[in-house]
Amino acid sequence: MAQKKALISGISGQDGAYLAKLLLEKGYEVHGTARDAQMSTFYNLQLIGIKDQITFHSMALNDFRSVLQVLDKVKPDEIYNLAGQSSVGLSFDQPVETLESISVGTLNLLEAIRFTGRSIKLYNAGSSECFGNTGGHPADEETPFRPRSPYAVAKATAFWEVANYREAYNLFACTGILFNHESPLRPERFVTKKIVKAACRIAAGSSEKLHLGNISIARDWGSAEEYVEAMWLMLQQDQPEDFVIATGETNTLEDFVAAVFEAVGLNWCEHVISDPSLLRPSEIMVSRGNPAKALQKLGWQAKRKMRDVIELIIDAEQKSKIEG
Ligand code: NDP
């Protein structure tokens, strides 16, 4: 069988790195894009030791010509669209950049696939943020979207673009509606990594305080390394369909903080300060997912829950300190 070719947009990010590793292990030829591939260090790929096995291309998703050019050059069998402004918090400060990179970006990819006329399969990185507040109801593929941030609005738009192109033009395109997933590769801008880093510094003697916004919010936290497998599985099905990917276990941010500090031998109450300047203009209070369809159709189920993921990130953080 001919070697399959995959193109990953946003390969420099957390998910891009783990997905590239998985696809290389499965024998794929892996191509990855960054907005400026010559300037990027691809640090995550270097960290997990696969950088020299990937072919890089510059691609600006909001520029149709650039997208078309890369598709024409690479001629991929599968595209994984992971690029775009990915922070909910930042999306309140950069709403236009967020909307363009996610919704115009996804539309350009769909149009370029259609234009090439090739049978390219597309995975689109959707988000549980689209559901908004469900009142504690576990969201599944039928749950309506009520986005509460510019990021979620952009992801909801991209979701419907994918659904529309699938229906209208018979493209093999699907969206994975992924709940939060974490790993040692998460940047510190995200609260989970910020908490782990601060707790490790305090445990090592720092007298700093950790400033956090609303810690009563609740999320479903899983492992990025496991979630990329679900992305790949979606493109191996006979029919393109959307899937919710979650662990099914929801915890508050306070639970997360307590578990991190406990793991490094500290009591979080002595080190955390509530900071109203970190509150978001609008927030999802409880995020709950129902991944039953993924288990039934993809045979995928999360093995690692919040505490396992915390352990992984703390281990990596402490090792990186030892290794300098
Ligand atoms: P990252 O932020 O780690 O990576 C996203 C990549 O997108 C970056 O490496 C960057 O690549 C590119 N990018 C960033 N900002 C822009 C922008 N303004 N315009 C165009 N490209 C940009 O994200 P993750 O790996 O964590 O997530 C992958 C995808 O999954 C994202 O689309 C994210 O929104 C989505 N998602 C993630 C979840 C999570 O919990 N991690 C949950 C649900 C969805 P470069 O700078 O090299 O161009």
65-98 tens-digit pLDDT: 999 999 999 999 999 999 999 999 999 999 999 9
Query: Are residues 276 and 311 located together in one domain of the fold?
Result: yes
Residue closest by Cα to atom 33 of ligand 1: 86
Total domain count, the chain: 2
Q: Is the pLDDT of residue 103 over 60?
A: yes
Q: Would strands 218-219 and 251-252 be described as parallel, antiparallel, or unpaired?
A: antiparallel
**320 pLDDT band (50/70/90 cuts)?**
confident
Residue linked to tokens 């999306």 = 91
Residue linked to tokens 């978001």 = 280
Query: Are residues 193 and 157 located together in one domain of the fold?
Result: no
Query: Are residues 20 and 159 located together in one domain of the fold?
Result: yes
In a domain, 45, yes or no: yes
For ligand 1, the distance from its centroid to the CA atom of residue 115, given in whole angstroms, is 25
Query: Are residues 122 and 148 located together in one domain of the fold?
Result: yes
Query: Are residues 205 and 64 located together in one domain of the fold?
Result: no
- 197 is in which domain, residue-wise? 187-219+250-287+305-323
Q: In what order do the strands lie in the sheet with 243-245?
A: 55-58, 29-34, 5-9, 78-81, 121-127, 173-178, 243-245
For ligand 1, the distance from its centroid to the CA atom of residue 85, given in whole angstroms, is 6
Mean pLDDT on 291-298: 98
231-241 tens-digit pLDDT: 999 999 999 99
Distance CA 275, CA 209 (A): 11
Q: Is the pLDDT of residue 322 over 90?
A: no
% of residues, the chain, pLDDT over 70: 99
For ligand 1, the distance from its centroid to the CA atom of residue 102, given in whole angstroms, is 9
CATH number at residue 67: 3.40.50.720
Backbone phi and psi for residue 35, each to the nearest 5 degrees, phi listed first: -60, -40
In a domain, 70, yes or no: yes
In a domain, 295, yes or no: no
Mutation test residue for ligand 1: of 40, 59, 80, 82, the one with most atoms within 8 Å of CB: 82
Mean pLDDT on 39-49: 96
For ligand 1, the distance from its centroid to the CA atom of residue 125, given in whole angstroms, is 9
Is ligand 1 within 6 A of the CB of residue 97? yes
Is ligand 1 within 6 A of the CB of residue 177? no
213-230 tens-digit pLDDT: 999 999 999 999 999 999
Which of the two residues, 224 and 1, has the higher pLDDT score? 224
Ligand 1: nearest atom to the Cα of 37:
47
Query: Are residues 132 and 171 located together in one domain of the fold?
Result: yes
Query: Are residues 204 and 315 located together in one domain of the fold?
Result: yes
In a domain, 292, yes or no: no
Query: Are residues 25 and 90 located together in one domain of the fold?
Result: yes
263-293 tens-digit pLDDT: 999 999 999 999 999 988 888 999 999 999 9
Distance CA 58, CA 37 (A): 5
In a domain, 313, yes or no: yes
Burial of 21 (0-12, 13-18, 19+ CB in 10 A): buried
Query: Are residues 193 and 169 located together in one domain of the fold?
Result: no
**152 pLDDT band (50/70/90 cuts)?**
very high
CATH number at residue 192: 3.90.25.10
Mean pLDDT on 296-323: 92
Q: Is the pLDDT of residue 201 over 60?
A: yes
For ligand 1, the distance from its centroid to the CA atom of residue 187, given in whole angstroms, is 11
> What's the mean per-residue pLDDT of the chain?
96
Query: Are residues 83 and 25 located together in one domain of the fold?
Result: yes
In a domain, 293, yes or no: no
Is ligand 1 within 6 A of the CB of residue 175? no
3-state secondary structure of 174: strand
Catalytic residues: 127, 129, 151
Q: Is the pLDDT of residue 198 over 90?
A: yes
Query: Are residues 114 and 235 located together in one domain of the fold?
Result: yes
In a domain, 67, yes or no: yes
Mean pLDDT on 109-120: 97
Ligand 1: nearest atom to the Cα of 185:
3
**323 pLDDT band (50/70/90 cuts)?**
low
In a domain, 297, yes or no: no
**122 pLDDT band (50/70/90 cuts)?**
very high
Query: Are residues 132 and 192 located together in one domain of the fold?
Result: no
